[in-house]
Every structure is written in structure tokens, then in C-alpha cells.
Amino acid sequence: MEKKTFSIPNITCGHCVMAIKNELNELDGIKMVEGNPEAKSIEVGWEAPVTEDKIKETLKEINYPAA
């Protein structure tokens, strides 16, 4: 499993984290999503077929682009 922490400047609260979790969990291959609104970051764990590029693309589509 690959893991990465993404910096998401648009995160302002727990609701933002939940919105991101809900969207990313729909992708095939996402194993875990943890968010920290104070640090404005999310940690994502994934396996194929999803890719880091697909995760970043999804974040951009839902208006939480990775910095």
C-alpha cells in the first residue's frame, strides 16, 4: 500500500475532511483517508488501480486541490 500526506489549503473544518473522505472512498483502491483540519492536510493510503494522479484529480474536481 502506498501512503502520502497531501496539503489541502481549502480545508477549514471537519466537514471538509468528511467531504474529502466520502469522495475519495468512492475510488477503487483507496484503503484509508485521514484528515487534519488544523494542519490542512489529509493522509491517503491506496493500492492499484487508483493512482496518485487520480487522487489529485479527484481532489481538484471537488474543490479541494492539493498544494
User: 31: which strand partners?
Assistant: none
How do the domains of the chain map onto residue ranges?
2-61
Nearest residue to 67 via CA among 48, 49, 42: 42
Centre a 10 Å sphere on the Cβ of residue 31 and count the other Cβ atoms it contains: 13
2-61 adopts what CATH topology? Alpha-Beta Plaits (3.30.70)
For residue range 3-56, what is the model confidence (pLDDT) as tens digits? Answer: 999 999 999 999 999 999 999 999 999 999 999 999 999 999 999 999 999 999
pTM for the whole thing?
A: 0.95
